[in-house]
Amino acid sequence: MSDELTFDLRELAAEGEKPPTLTGAEIRGRAVRRRRRRRTALAAAGTSVAGALALVFALSLGGGTDRELPPAASPTVTAPPPATPDATVDLGRRVLSVAGRQLPISAGTVKTPTPTGRMTVVRKKAVGVLTARDLGFNDKYDIKAPWVIVLGASDGSENFIATMTFDEKAPGAHDRTSGWIGLRQADAKWLYQQLSPGAVIDVETSGASDRPRSSTPAGVNGGAAR
């Protein structure tokens, strides 16, 4: 290249140069910030690598995440408490207690005692037929008794509560049945409306009185109203 051409090129390059837009201090500050960002990035990368190595180490010791967990403890099953009876019959005191009332009763005699235990109302009859066997009489005749409540025991046997139409003075004073529970007519009607099928009745002998039980001709214990 000739000297003249070289001179022209240098002059053209000199005219194209621009002064820097940043001062020297600003350039140094930018360099410092770049170094800080590099250090932060390197530190974060190191933390990630350390975490990955720790996870690999934990998996190698624990045998992986597929390890079976121990079975959860079974909840303790508590048996429900026995149902509170809807009514209680005290044969010794000749009393049937229900809904805050005490109704006088007449129960079975010494020869034909009333069955005890927990009973359940299985059905009701506005009018039922009591046979001579139900009444404990040897005579062969039947009577109609209103407000009959039939009770069922756990062994499948049945007994009943009914009106003593033939002797309303007996409830609370004498035991004159063949095992069933007799009430005065007004009390029997009220009890009939009070108890529904499924109601629970406990028949017990607590509080026995010293009054002798009346005797009647032998009959079938309990019986069943038709």
pLDDT at residue 94 is higher than 50: yes
- Averaged over 43-53, what is the pLDDT? 62
Tell me the pLDDT band of 133, cut-offs 50, 70 and 90.
Answer: confident
What is the pLDDT at residue 197? 96
3-class secondary structure, 7: helix
Better pLDDT: 215 or 116: 116
**Domain boundary assignment for the chain:** 23-64, 87-204
Instruction: Give pTM, 2 decimals.
Output: 0.58
**% residues pLDDT > 90 (the chain):** 45
Pairing of strands 143-153, 87-90: unpaired
Dump the DSSP string for 51-88.
HHHHHHHHHHHHT-TTPPPPPPPPPPPPPPPPPPPSEE
149 within 8 A of 195, measured Cβ to Cβ: yes
pLDDT at residue 2 is higher than 90: no
What is the pLDDT at residue 214? 44
Q: Which of 123, 125, 107 lies closest to 115 in space, CA to CA?
A: 107
170 within 8 A of 215, measured Cβ to Cβ: no
Quickly name the fold that domain 87-204 has. Answer: L,D-transpeptidase catalytic domain-like (2.40.440)
Better pLDDT: 57 or 94: 94
**Tens of pLDDT along 176-223?**
999 999 999 999 999 999 999 999 999 999 755 444 444 443 333 455
223 within 8 A of 180, measured Cβ to Cβ: yes
* Rounded distance between C-alpha atoms, residue 129 and residue 112, angstroms: 20
The dihedrals phi and psi of 49, each to the nearest 5 degrees, come to -65, -40
Q: What angle do CA 123, 124, 125 make, to 5 degrees?
A: 135
* Rounded distance between C-alpha atoms, residue 39 and residue 215, angstroms: 111
